[in-house]
Amino acid sequence: MKFKIFLTYLLCFVLVFLVAYFTSCDSGTGITEPPPPNPYGEGNGKITFYRTSQIAGPVIIRISSYQFNDSIVWISPPMCDTNIATSVILKKGDYTVNIEGAKFLCNYNVKIEERKCKLLDYTNCNGGYVGCYDLTGVWIRTADGPCPNCKGLKVQFSNGIGEVIYTPPGCRFALWDIKWKNFDINNCTIYDLARDQYGGSPDYFLTNITFFNKDSIELNGPSGIIPYSRISYTLEKKNENNFHPIEVEHNIPDSELQLGR
């Protein structure tokens, strides 16, 4: 009989102890298991880059102060922690990624999270944006736009200005016209020169630039959309033979002038 009473008290004591123990753990005052160590280091996360199609030229990836060359084309997404793919460990936070090929251009805004590895598929700039890029070089107009006979116009951009170095017959822009100025790479805008149908009344208009890749753009301003392609990063010399004179008719009332770009 005494043994049964003892056993009952013992069981009650054990039950009370267990309840007290788990209650203290839930309140944060008891002993808890420490979290496993961060495989990327304290406060760090990881990002891994990949693509599943070829991109012309060397592919350069920039993030924070790091720059990488990525030459691998994957058949399927890699494991995030593979040692083969291009990857980097960074402090948690927000970053901008810039990726360039011979013509390919893509940007991403990414968040690095502590203890986590993130895969970024930049195939065809999936989920990214092209952004803005340096205009230095020679650009050719690939459509007339609002100006008849101006397809084939060449603009050379250097030191902050875009100068006409070739004008097709009948185009209203003269050789050495300052066609572009005040390029703002942060807002991707430029001031573009417009002339009336007689080649006079020049004026500049704030124009948005849309990049499709490093060598293909559209200017979207008050008078329409005009496409250009970069044909050279090497600057050409101006030549008088590139100029086809346009006749300028004077004394035309302003109300009759039609601006074009």
11-68 pLDDT tens trace = 555 455 554 555 444 445 556 677 889 999 999 999 999 999 999 989 999 999 999 9
Looking at residue 21, what is its pLDDT? Answer: 52
Provide the CATH topology of domain 137-238. Lipocalin (2.40.128)
* Strands of 117-121's sheet in order across: 86-91, 44-50, 117-121
Question: What burial class does residue 80 get, using C-beta atoms within 10 Å of its C-beta: 0-12 exposed, 13-18 middle, 19+ buried?
Answer: middle
Average pLDDT, the chain: 84
Is the pLDDT score of 113 beyond 60? yes
Mean pLDDT of 143-150: 90
Nearest-5° Cα angle at 214, 260 to 148: 20
pLDDT at residue 90, rounded to an integer: 98
Nearest to 261 by CA among 180, 187, 182, 189: 180
Cα 139 from chain centre? 21
**140: its two tokens:** 């050719």
- Token pair, residue 240, equals 């008088």
Tokens of residue 17, six digits: 């102890």
What pLDDT, on a 0 to 100 scale, did the predictor assign at position 36?
Answer: 87
Predicted pLDDT of residue 236: 80
Categorise residue 42: left if φ over 0, alpha if ψ from -120 to 50, beta otherwise: beta
Q: What residue ranges do the domains of the chain occupy?
A: 44-125, 137-238
- pTM comes to 0.73
Per-residue pLDDT tens over the stretch 80-103 = 999 999 999 999 999 999 999 999
Q: Is the pLDDT of residue 223 over 60?
A: yes
Residue 207's identity, in one-letter code, is T
44-125 CATH: 2.60.40.1120
- Name the residue with tokens 């004077």: 250
